Amino acid sequence: MFNKFTNSKLGIIFAVLVVIFGVMLLWNGKDDRTFREVLVDIDTAAVTEIMMYPKSQNHDEVKLYKENDDWYVKLSEEKSAFVPAQKITGLFAQLLAIVPKRLAARDQSKWNEFQVDSTATRVKVVEEGDITLDLIIGRFSYQQQPRSMSTFVRLANDVDIYEVDGFLEMSFNQGANTFRDGSIINSDFESWKQLSFDYPADSSFQMIKVENGWIANFVNSDSTKAVRYLRQLGNISGNSFFDDITPDQLPAPTYKLTVENESGELVEIMGYEMGERFIITSSANRETYFDGLQNKLKEKIFIGLNSILP
């Protein structure tokens, strides 16, 4: 009887352990199945809008939208600005590179710790009227050994927090001006043959390309100084804009720089004094008005003759 009782009891215990083990397997299997291997699944060709809510802008919407084959960033209800294609390509590349490295947490109480709560930067992607991505971008993490950069993210409709490669805030925690075309001139200076500086009074001069370098007002320039200036000018841009100005408000330009290349093509850069403002425009980026006093833009473009002489 003792053996019978013992065997029965052991059988019950064994059955209970089997059930517990089965439940554990089921639970672990459930976790494995709900772990997302893909966070971003978008068709970049079908994307028509990208909306960002950067914490650096107090979560005010920054909207990029596609019109025909071009992209624009909305500046106000009435005004938008052109966005260069390479900037959109860069955003898409950054989004498509978002792949989970690990599951960091799956508890809403951890949102604050990983900064994926209401204070985070948020990104929405729209494809033909439907939101196909709603991403919360949280805390940045840097590891020294081995060196790596990571960001914690979650999908807006999910509690799970994932660690992904990269410093996403560099791309998405930005204001509208970051995405506009800030180029003033973008050209290879080695293809230029002449620069004409039209300044007030008698301070105008010309730079002309000759066989052994550049001359300025028929005097040999300092080759190092001249090349340094030309190389900088060939890819100069601005990131501060005046959006409250119309062409009819501009006075006559005080400064003018005309760059001519060997094919005879011209780029004209104008400088206008308007009260305390100095406004720069370029024929290579029409209808954009740059703040010439920011980052010494005026001084970098409209140089004096002595700055390139020996």
Tell whether the model's pLDDT for residue 57 goes beyond 90. yes
Cβ atoms of residues 152 and 121 within 8 Å: no
Residue at a domain's end among 179, 209, 240: 179
Q: Average pLDDT for residues 177-189, to the nearest whole number?
A: 97
Record the tokens describing residue 160, joined without a space: 């799970």
Comparing C-alpha atoms, which of 196, 207, 192 is closest to residue 258? 196
Q: What pLDDT is stored for residue 144 in this prediction?
A: 80
Tell whether the model's pLDDT for residue 196 goes beyond 70. yes
In this structure, the answer to whether residues 58 and 150 fall within a common structural domain is yes
Convert the pLDDT of each residue in 167-181 to its tens digit.
999 999 999 999 999
In a domain, 110, yes or no: yes
pLDDT band of residue 10 (cuts 50, 70, 90) is low
In this structure, the answer to whether residues 230 and 169 fall within a common structural domain is no
Q: CA of 201: how far to CAs of 198, 204, 254, 258, in Å?
A: 9, 8, 10, 18
In this structure, the answer to whether residues 300 and 199 fall within a common structural domain is yes
- Among 15-24, 98-107, 276-285, which is the least confidently predicted range? 15-24
In a domain, 11, yes or no: no
Cβ atoms of residues 153 and 139 within 8 Å: no
In this structure, the answer to whether residues 248 and 267 fall within a common structural domain is yes
pLDDT band of residue 2 (cuts 50, 70, 90) is very low
Domain, as residue range, for 63: 44-179
Comparing C-alpha atoms, which of 152, 163, 179, 159 is closest to residue 74? 179
In this structure, the answer to whether residues 222 and 162 fall within a common structural domain is no
In this structure, the answer to whether residues 205 and 233 fall within a common structural domain is yes
In this structure, the answer to whether residues 100 and 161 fall within a common structural domain is yes
Tell whether the model's pLDDT for residue 16 goes beyond 60. no
In a domain, 24, yes or no: no
Please work out, in degrees rounded to the nearest 5, the angle formed at the alpha carbon of residue 64 by the alpha carbons of 63 and 66.
Answer: 135
Q: Average pLDDT for residues 247-251, to the nearest whole number?
A: 94
> What's the distance, Cα to Cα, between the start and end of the chain in Å?
114
Number of residues in the chain: 310
Contacts of 207 (CB under 8 A, 6+ apart): 194, 195, 197, 214, 215, 216, 221, 226, 308
Instruction: Report which residue type is found at 252.
Output: A
- Among 11-25, 79-93, 252-266, which is the least confidently predicted range? 11-25
Q: Which residue has the tokens 């985070």?
A: 120
In this structure, the answer to whether residues 203 and 109 fall within a common structural domain is no
Whole-model pTM: value is 0.81
In a domain, 13, yes or no: no
pLDDT band of residue 36 (cuts 50, 70, 90) is confident
pLDDT band of residue 145 (cuts 50, 70, 90) is confident
Helix H segments across 149-222? Answer: 169-172
Comparing C-alpha atoms, which of 170, 167, 160 is closest to residue 52? 170
In this structure, the answer to whether residues 59 and 174 fall within a common structural domain is yes
Q: Are strands 255-261 and 47-53 parallel, antiparallel or unpaired?
A: unpaired
Residue at a domain's end among 179, 199, 215: 179
In this structure, the answer to whether residues 175 and 193 fall within a common structural domain is no
Number of domains in the chain: 2
Spell out where 33-190 has E strands: 47-53, 62-67, 70-74, 80-83, 100-105, 121-127, 130-143, 148-155, 161-165
In a domain, 9, yes or no: no
In this structure, the answer to whether residues 48 and 174 fall within a common structural domain is yes
pLDDT band of residue 143 (cuts 50, 70, 90) is confident
In a domain, 14, yes or no: no
Residue at a domain's end among 128, 156, 179: 179
In this structure, the answer to whether residues 53 and 170 fall within a common structural domain is yes
In a domain, 68, yes or no: yes
In a domain, 201, yes or no: yes
